[in-house]
Structure formats: C-alpha cells, structure tokens
Amino acid sequence: MKDKREQTIGRANVLPVSSTVLLPNTESTLLMAKADRDYAKHLGTIGETDIALPLKQGVDHGNLKADDFYRMGVLLTTGAISEGDDALQVQAQTAERIEVKELRIEGSIVTCTYEPAPARIDLDDKGREEILDYMKKVVHEIATGFPGGAQFDEMVKGYTDVDALIIQLARFMPLSPEERYGLLSADSLKERSLLFIDQLIRQKESLELNMRLNEKFSEEANKRYREQVLREQLKAIESELNSEDGETASKKDYRARIEASDMPDEVRKAALEEVGKLEASGSEGFEQSMIRNYLDFMLELPWKREEPVPVDLKAAREVLDARHYGLDKVKERIIQHLAVTQLKADKRGSVLLLVGPPGTGKTSLGKSIAEALGREYIRMSLGGIRDEAEIRGHRRTYVGAMPGRVLESIKRAGTTNPVMVLDEVDKIMPGGFSGDPASALLEVLDPEQNNTFTDHYLDLPYDLSDVFFIATANSIDTIPAPLLDRMEMIQISGYTPDEKFHIGREHLVPEVLEDHGIAESQLTIGDEALREIIEEYTVEAGVRGLKKQLAALARAASEKIVEGDGDLPYVVDTEVLEKVLGRKVSHHERAQADNPAGVVTGLAWTPVGGEILFIESTDMPGTGEVTITGQLGDVMQESARISLSLLKSRLPLGAAGFKEHDIHIHVPSGAVPKDGPSAGITLFTALASLATGIKVDPKLAMTGEVTLRGIVMPIGGLKEKLLAAQRAGINKVLIPDENVQDLKDVPDEVKDQLKIVPVMTVEDVLKEALGIELPRVEHALMSSAALPQRAPMV
C-alpha cells in the first residue's frame, strides 16, 4: 500500500482523540474507553497510517459533528492493539503535522482529506542555538530542586534540535489540551519556541512556589511531631510517677485478658495476632482505634457455652398461663418443644415461627418463653431492613465498620443461649444494591450451619446453636421459601370475643391502670361496657386496639380524678362509652328476620375475624346473560359459574326458565373486595332458591367450596366463621364434612349455641337448606377409574 505521507493531498481514517493532543514524532499509548471502541474498529491495520485529530472540549462522543474537531492533527501509525479491563490500549507512532481540509462522518466512521503542514523554519542557526541553551538552562534550574534531577538534566543536554526538545519536554509537563494544541498549531518554529518558553517559565515558577509551601508545611509538621513526642514522654513520666490502679491496667492488657478468656483456640490465636499488630503499630497509628474496637468486641462477646439447665415444664406452663389467656394449642406446642429440648440437651434447630394477626401476643410469647426457660431475652426488629450488613455486619476494611445485629444482640445478652425474638420477619425489604438480608438470615436460622456463623466484622466462626430463635410474622406470603423451610411454624388465630373479654379483664385493665397511675379503687370498668368496647369499638383479631380504647377511658378518668370532679370510683358503663370514645367504629351484620327467595346467608373470613355476608340473586326477562357484582375476585366469579352449571345439571326443570331470563348475582358490601372459593355452596343455594322460589331460613348460614361434580370441599378459617355466625344470631350452620376435625379448635360455648351440620354433596345442601331431596349422583363420590359409561342424555 502506498504511504499517504507521500501524497500532497491524501485521504485517511480519522481517530478522534479527546482529553489530550498528540504532538509530532512521538510514541504514545492511547487508552480508548468503551464508548470510543467503535472508532478503534476502523483504524488501519498495524503499520498503516491514519490521522489523529484532537476533539474540542465538552463535545458529545455519541453524536460527533465536523465542528467538534480541531483542524490541525498528526499522521498516526497504528501499532499493537490490546484489550484491557476497562479500556482498549493502542500503541501508536506519530509523524509530521497535517492540516485537515474536509471531514466526512458516516456513523462511527470518520474520514478526511488532508495535506502536510510543516512549520516554517524562521530561525537561523544562532537563534536556534540561543533558544536551545536558554531552555536547557531553565530545565537545569528546575532539576536541581529535585532528587534524581541530575539524570534528567543530563538527558536534556544531549538535544541539538529545538523542535525535538520541545516535544520531549512537553511529555513531562502538565499542559492542558488547549496549551498542547497551541504548540501543535503554531505555524513557525520561532512562534512555537517562544510559546513553549513561556509555558516552561510558568511551570518553573509554579514548582518553586510549591517547594516553598512544602518547606513551610514540613517545618510545621516537624514542630507538631516534636510536641507530640514530648507529650508522649511526659505522659510516660507521669505514668511512672503515678502508677495506674490494677483494674485500669488489666483493661489495657489485651494479651492477658485474651489468654484468660474462654475463646476457642482458633479465635484466641486470631485475637493474639491482632494484639501483635497493636503492639507493633505506633501510639497514634491509623489502625490503633480500629484494632482496639475489634479486640474490645471480641472480649465482650460471650464464648463459654452455658451448661444445660433442666426445664420445669410445670413451672413453664404456669408462666405461659399467667401471662397469656387462651392460645391453648400454641402453649401446648411450646411446652412440647421445651420437653424435646429437655430430653435432648444438644438439640439443634430451636427455631419457631409464630404467625398470626397483629396484637395476638406473638412478641410477648417470646418473652414468656425466655422467662419459663430462665434465659436472657433479647428482641431484634427486622421490619424494614434492606441491608445485609444489618445481619452480617461490615468488613473491617470499611471506615466505621460495625458488627451485625445478631452478634451485637448476643453481646448485650452476655450469654450464648438467650431467647432471641426476630420480630416482623415477614417485613424484611427485598434484596437490592446492599445485599439481601433475608438470605443472610439463612445461615443464622439453619441448624446445620449456625454453629459456625461468620459475621463479616468478626470474620471468625461463632456458635449460635444454643440460641433459641423465635421469629414472628403476620403472614408467610412475603417470607422467602428457603427461609420459611428453616423454621417450624405455629399458627396463632385471632381471639374470640369471650377470650378478648377475659384478656381485657385479667390483663389489659390492670396494666392500663398501672400505666396511668390509677388505683383500682379509683376506676371501675363494667363487664357490659368492656364487652361493648370489644364488639362495637374495635375491629381486630388481636387486642391492641382494645388496649388503646381502655387507655382513652383511663385518660378521661385521670382528668376527673385530678380535678376532683365527682365521686370515686369513676364508673365506666355503656352510657359513658359514646361520650368518651365517640361513635362506634364497628358494624357487624345480623341475621335478617326474613330472606326472600334467592338470598342466602354465607360466612366469610377476614384478617380481623369472621363475618356473615348475604349472597343475593334475582332474575329478569332477558337472554340468559349472567351479571356478577360486588367486587368479586376471579375465584369467586368462577364459583358462581360453577354453581349455575351445577344447578342446571341437578335441577334442569327448575333452571329451564333461566334461558329466557337474565340473572344478577350481588354480594354486599360492594366497596369491599372479596375472593375465595368458600362461598361455593352459598352461591349454589342462592341460585337454587331463585329457581325454585323456595326461601332459605334466615337463621341458616353455610360455607364450603363446591366442585363441578357437586362435591363440597373443605375451607379455612372455620373458627372465625362460626364465631361470626354466633355473634350474628345464626342458629344452624352447614360446613364441609372434611372440616369436622377442625371443630376441636372452636370454643365449646360457640358449639353449644349452633347446630353444625356437615355436608358432603350439593344434594345434602339442598336437603338441609330447601328441603329438596334428590338422589345422590354416585359418580360424584367415585374415583375416575371406577366411573361407569355415561348414559345418554334424556
């Protein structure tokens, strides 16, 4: 290929150069960022010639225009190209100066036409010699002020060409791109020489100023160092004259304290290595405070495993019963867990998960367990944390590093076997830039791993296998499956009104009176008033709202007591409630005196307890269209369609009129979203009542999922639904046959007031609700393998 430098007018590819300006006849290594790599693809192959053309400052590399380039550049011969981690490295040799005549930009390809532009030689031999000597003299004055400058001075003495010396010195000077381009664009040797001499003199003055400042700073630093040394000597003399007491000395003697501690050998060895670093570093070394904080933390951590203490199950049961009313199943499960721990002292995996609505006593149960076991109680709230370092801590390489909250809590407890409550584990924020705290908990709660738990700050294994972990959550929906798998779940359901009454009377009222400084002889809350607060002024599964309402009564009473207004005790009855607490906030549906045909009472579960609801259906002349309203979810709408299909198959004559009628199904309250399959038999019964015109007893309620075969499937929340039925004045309830086993969780006072009838198929439902007896479709209860051939439809 013909060399482009031999042409008067040439064409070549252009390499845009930013942040610097290449001077002629130099060897350079160009670093091209990722954004500029597209240009590198169009460079000539090794040995070919291109144009290195500088860019103006502040241009957009992604949208280059001709005006973004300077016009003076240099010829560039590309050498080796290598791939770096963050940039492309291009070895290049520049040649003479050129002037660009025309630029063409097509995508990422930039080409140009150019012609050589050598500088005019307008200095004679004497002028070149004088300028050369002057530049060497200035360089000598600069070099004498630096160690090793003599070698640089000797190198400069060998130059006899002014242009070559300018280019050589410019490589070592901190010139801006504009100053370098000024050297490149100078048209004559004289102009370039005078411009460079000006830059060289300014560089010399800047260096001299910096040297004077450094000398002054060094004097100040030496003065401060002398003062510091004298203070240390004075401190040592005072220490000798006034010997420290034994306790202070022992605190500072890390080596002796570590040797006397109960640390495992591996940990003790690592701690002694840190002591060695502390002793080797200066008194004011950078790592002094960091090492001291680390050693203090290691020494404050409990390392000695506690001896197993026999658990008195009877005493533990008494503690749980005294602190918590009801929750019999939960307390029994906890007692069983303690019994297993007693039989196998080294049992691992003491991780319980208490799941239930707010205010049901999950956190206080953990405190009661600690009291029953005679262990230290610590609580760690996990709600809202989003940083993995909250669990594992920070590495000590970071400034201000701290241990994680797990080991920090162990340190506060001062024992290796506390009861640690991990509160609100379902409210951990999902992982992001700072790591995933839920994943960090996997090692903490895994019995196979937590005996060697490694905190980033401690960076040594710590045994958590003796810790009794109790996690609490309102829902398991947001808990990651791997984390949930490591915990044993105990479900805590909402309290019944009767349980709330006893909790309020036996626990909350005395607690509220004590919190407000009121004696029992000064305030009396009647039983009827307490029950009305529970029924009409709270809507919750727990008792937190009840406590707030009792506190409002206590505040009103405290005002009366302080002012001496009225006789004591201040009595709270039902007439006082509305005056103090305001209007009632709770509204519960009640069974109607009469339900028209097409209306049936159902049962629903909510997070704050059960409720009854009315399934309403009606028909009107039309084309068989079905309308479903009441903010029903997809599952509930499917149940309505299944019920209609099932009705047409079971009562074809009664449903025949639906072909010429539109059907409208509605579930009040319309503003509340509703979903779930448990209203299946209620929807079926409502449509059957509408088709036959037979009314359903308003004191009858039902719940159960229905299949297209007519099978009644089991449902959840039976306890809450039966409580709602009792409260609403229902006398008879239809439940799925498979839910009979769940009746043991229902209080006896509820079962005594309700007639509970289990049903297996929709035929059983029709018989109980409408008095219609149909032969049971046998294949509904048979397996698919035993189904006979289908008979022709009549």
Q: Which residues are catalytic?
A: 678, 721
Neighbours of 80 (CB within 10 A): 10
- Look at phi and psi of residue 719 and say left if phi exceeds 0, alpha if psi is from -120 to 50, else beta: alpha
Could you give the angle at which helices 313-323 and 362-373 cross, rounded to 10 degrees?
Answer: 150
- Bridge partners of 700, per DSSP, are 732
For residues 151 and 220, the answer to whether their CB atoms sit within 8 Å is no
For residues 533 and 549, the answer to whether their CB atoms sit within 8 Å is yes
Cα 533 from Cα 546, distance rounded (Å): 7
Residue type, 272: L
Neighbours of 503 (CB within 10 A): 21
Task: Kindly state the helix (H) or strand (E) to which residue 618 belongs, with its residue range.
Answer: strand 609-621
Question: Cα 447 from chain centroid?
Answer: 24
Cα 678 from Cα 221, distance rounded (Å): 82
Residue 533, SS3 per DSSP: helix
Residue 226, SS3 per DSSP: helix
Tell the residue number behind the tokens 């009396």, with chain if given.
524
Q: Which strands sit side by side in the sheet containing 351-355, from one edge to the other?
A: 377-381, 419-423, 468-473, 351-355, 488-491
What single-letter DSSP state applies at residue 15? E
DSSP output for 424-455 = TGGGPPPPBTTB-HHHHHHHHH-TTTGGGEE-
Cα dihedral sign, 686-691-697-700: negative
Name residues whose C-beta falls within 8 Å of residue 745's C-beta, 6 or more positions apart in sequence: 329, 493, 718, 719
Neighbours of 85 (CB within 10 A): 4
Cα 263 from Cα 733, distance rounded (Å): 64
Work out the angle at residue 588's Cα, subtended by the Cα atoms of residues 584 and 591, and round it to the nearest 5 degrees: 140
